């Protein structure tokens, strides 16, 4: 079960965090993994790790904000059975202190970047008569999270795009789902704590972890496992759905 043999998977933002964990897992499950990331060193490292484990992988430097660049990379790959939109950035701020530049930056990566990848992959999937798209949304797009105005906006848009694509291509055998993680312990979190809470990293890590009722953050491998299932043939009856993976945050955080 959950094998991806003879499938080509494109994963954006696969140089680190959830995207990297997903790429490594897909490689172990037999997929030919195409690692897309803005950071060439991180993309190459992920692809190398897949190959070292006996898998198939290629690294592609790609800025998801640039539509032409995304189209050229995906057209060069050709067949794409699975697209995972994991590339994204975060932002701290409320509506009154979020600058226009920061708003545009978050929108460009988190919303336009997902659109660009979907826009480029759909002609390929339509031509082959099948495909799976998995988008990374967030609990921030579902519930109110303090100081996450622009980020929440962007992830709400990802959720809406997921439903739209799932409905529009329902009869072309293209499935589209999203997942909504709560906090995940990635290098981004460590960098955020070091920058904003120097000397208090352990204290703040504990505080952020306890905001999940389960008492800890997720690790990227746990998120990757859900992504694998939703992209596998075992999930062939699932489309147009969002799956919170949040340690009880939405339903149990009373």
Residues noted as catalytic: 151
Nearest Cα residue to 83 out of 188, 16, 151, 165? 165
Tell whether the torsion through CA atoms of 163, 165, 169 and 174 is positive or negative. Answer: negative
What does residue 173 show for φ and ψ, rounded to 5 degrees?
Answer: 65, 35
- DSSP state, 108? I
Partner residues linked to 177 by β-bridges: 134
DSSP assignments along 10-69, one per residue? EEETTTSHHHHHHHHHHHHTT-EEEEEES-HHHHHHHHHHHHHTT-EEEEEE--TT-HHH
DSSP E strands in 38-170: the ranges are 56-61, 82-85, 131-136
For residue 69, give every residue at least 6 positions away whose Cβ sits within 8 Å of its Cβ, in sequence order, or none: 62, 63
CB–CB of 224/134 below 8 Å? no
């Amino acid at each position: 079960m959950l094998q991806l043999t003879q499938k080509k998977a494109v994963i954006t933002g696969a140089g680190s965090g959830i995207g990297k964990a997903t790429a490594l897992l897909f490689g172990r499950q037999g997929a030919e993994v195409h690692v897309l990331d803005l950071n060439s060193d991180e993309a190459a490292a992920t692809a190398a790790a897949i190959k070292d484990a006996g898998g198939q992988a290629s690294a592609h430097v790609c800025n998801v904000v640039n539509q032409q660049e995304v189209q050229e990379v995906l057209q060069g790959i050709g067949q794409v059975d699975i697209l995972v939109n994991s590339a994204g950035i975060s932002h701290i701020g409320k509506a009154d202190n979020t600058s226009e530049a920061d708003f545009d930056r978050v929108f460009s990566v988190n919303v336009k970047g997902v659109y660009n990848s979907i826009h480029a992959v759909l002609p390929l999937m339509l031509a082959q008569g099948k495909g799976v798209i998995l988008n990374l949304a967030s609990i921030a797009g579902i519930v109110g999270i303090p100081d996450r105005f622009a980020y929440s906006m962007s992830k709400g848009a990802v959720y809406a795009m997921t439903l739209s694509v799932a409905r529009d291509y329902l009869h072309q055998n293209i499935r589209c789902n999203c997942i909504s993680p709560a906090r995940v312990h990635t290098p981004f979190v460590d960098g955020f704590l070091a920058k904003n809470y120097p000397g208090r990293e352990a204290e703040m890590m504990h505080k952020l972890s306890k905001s999940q009722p389960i008492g800890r953050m997720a690790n990227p491998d746990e998120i990757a496992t859900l992504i694998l299932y939703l992209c596998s043939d075992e999930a062939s009856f699932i489309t147009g759905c969002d799956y919170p993976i949040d340690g009880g945050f939405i339903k149990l955080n009373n």
